[in-house]
Chain A
């Protein structure tokens, strides 16, 4: 195995191959950072160019876009509160707050390093444990996927900064938004009320851009006096690489990476679910959960490492079982097939050289990403020097363009702006935004997995607790919801006892 991996590294280090991987990384990072242009768009855009390439440079270009794309969205999330992709949302919650506290350099550096470490660890996991892990994961079905999504939704219990009911209202509202439009299984229109653009549903990118970016711009403009206005991120934004600062956060990094690999390894549950699950888990295990949402480095590290950690997990399914876990890996599977690579159980024995070149490419991509991520963050961070009025104006225009680019439809622009206004009032009246975003993203996934499980199991609800993995994940979800309540009771009990003895 080590010999194969060594040969793969040598192949990936050839000048043309290395150049293609670096180019792919750069394209992925920039595409991931631009709202409205996702990593999937970038992979689809580079696919035709690979037709004219040899097999190895083509694969490394795609791998580069994939690894860079999952990281890129964090940069604009940290700097401007605009997550490039839904998977970057938890990073944005903490990163942007850190930025507003003047810790932009630290936040960017942490994001780069934890992405690289998470991605590297998952690539190594892919290299050494892919076949046995794939055999284990092959036993999973939509029942387990549903349980994982429920675990992500259960983390809402730790997201409400002020009250659980506010968080739940926000979550259910988001889940409802996710049901609008034409239902996939029977093609029935739900809550469209004969409004044409509602028939195609509410794209979660419009919700993301609106609530985060437009809402933030209005929040910066609205205060009566500039002195009372929330501080826009300022100061030096040049990222620094906090190699030593990462040591105290090693457990957050380890947890995030482990969650990323595990969740990424379940087909269908990709980087987005893993980032939400990892963030929720991190807050539950933290000694200072009250600091989450205010710019907590642990939350950022856990979320960011899980996003890139999921890349190796997703590739396990793709390479060993031939099952793409997401739209991005589905396009990559298409590219593999075009170049004569047949993902599946025999891949590791029949096309050993190619498969280890892919793995070596992932390892190298995550190392090179430190340098490229630094350069990209530096370039985007230059925008921080732009005066706030100009920045706010162009953020609105870019949001317009990002929303319009989704489907070339003004309806998406309307939705984005309306969600922006909603986001402003949610901020003002302390209705937490993260649960709503989580509901819009994870709600439709939960519905799809739940209904498919019910069809496959004759509407037998007990299937969720009779399958061991699903039962364990659901039990963990229940514990996650109950833990804050138990902690509150224990706190009250302690206060009462202290009062008695005082």
Chain B
């Protein structure tokens, strides 16, 4: 269960972000003629609302005892325990997929991603992984590149040449 400081940290962070963003709205209304409401009006209203709710939450957290239950279930006590290494690996794999795609190209990164993510999700059959990697990637390329003309990233330098060769081999180009 969270301590009082722990419960106060999140709304305090929210309040700080709201105030910082509120400062960033200065100057937004310079272009506005006369007494018209400018482009800064609505964001300021929203950020004031966000700040006010965070402040209310902060006051509520401060008033409660360190061991008292919060108004809502704001900790993860009722949720099943998380495997942090597995979660970190999944997030890292997803981010690596997005990061690598412009450089390596969509087809090649997708081949790697499908294999890696399926393994991470628990598939251990090499046949299943290989079949899904090859058929899945080919199917996606036919659907999105050949049929829908989606200009998916081809990669840079040698990877681009490799992607184009793959497209030619699959009769996509």
Q: Is B122 an interface residue (CB 8 A)?
A: yes
A429 and B6 CA atoms in complex are apart in Å by: 12
What size tier do the contact residues of chain A reach?
A: 35 or more
Q: List 10 A-B contacts (CB under 8 A).
A: A163-B71, A179-B42, A225-B80, A387-B123, A393-B132, A394-B114, A397-B113, A400-B101, A413-B101, A417-B94
Q: Is the CB of A401 within 8 A of B144?
A: yes
Q: Is the CB of B90 within 8 A of A218?
A: yes
Q: Is the CB of B117 within 8 A of A218?
A: no
- B residues near A218, Cβ cutoff 8 Å: 87, 90-91
- Selecting from A103-111, A185-193, A258-266, A334-342, the interface stretch reads A185-193
Q: Is the CB of B49 within 8 A of A172?
A: yes
Q: Is the CB of B41 within 8 A of A451?
A: yes
- A residues near B81, Cβ cutoff 8 Å: 223-225, 228
Q: Is B37 an interface residue (CB 8 A)?
A: yes
CB < 8 Å neighbour of B47 from A163, A176, A397: A176
Q: Is the CB of A410 within 8 A of B49?
A: no
Q: Is the CB of A166 within 8 A of B43?
A: no
Q: Is the CB of A390 within 8 A of B132?
A: yes
Q: Is A165 an interface residue (CB 8 A)?
A: yes
Known A176-B21, A387-B123; judge A169-B39 contact (CB<8 A): no
Q: Is the CB of B54 within 8 A of A221?
A: no
Q: Is the CB of B36 within 8 A of A414?
A: no
A227 to chain B, nearest CB (A): 9
Q: Is B154 an interface residue (CB 8 A)?
A: no
Q: Give the nearest-CB partner of A393 in chain B.
A: B117
Q: Give the nearest-CB partner of B10 in chain A.
A: A429
Q: Give the nearest-CB partner of B49 in chain A.
A: A172
- B residues near A429, Cβ cutoff 8 Å: 10, 74-76
- A residues near B144, Cβ cutoff 8 Å: 401, 405
Within 8 A of B (CB), among A400-445: 400-401, 404-405, 408, 410, 413-414, 417, 420-421, 424, 427-430, 443
Q: Is the CB of B150 within 8 A of A401?
A: yes
Q: Is the CB of B72 within 8 A of A166?
A: yes
Q: Is the CB of B121 within 8 A of A223?
A: no
Q: Is the CB of A459 within 8 A of B54?
A: no
A451 and B28 CA atoms in complex are apart in Å by: 15
A186 and B32 CA atoms in complex are apart in Å by: 8
Q: Is the CB of A223 within 8 A of B83?
A: yes
B146 to chain A, nearest CB (A): 14
A84 to chain B, nearest CB (A): 16
Q: Is the CB of A390 within 8 A of B118?
A: yes
- A residues near B80, Cβ cutoff 8 Å: 223-225, 228-230
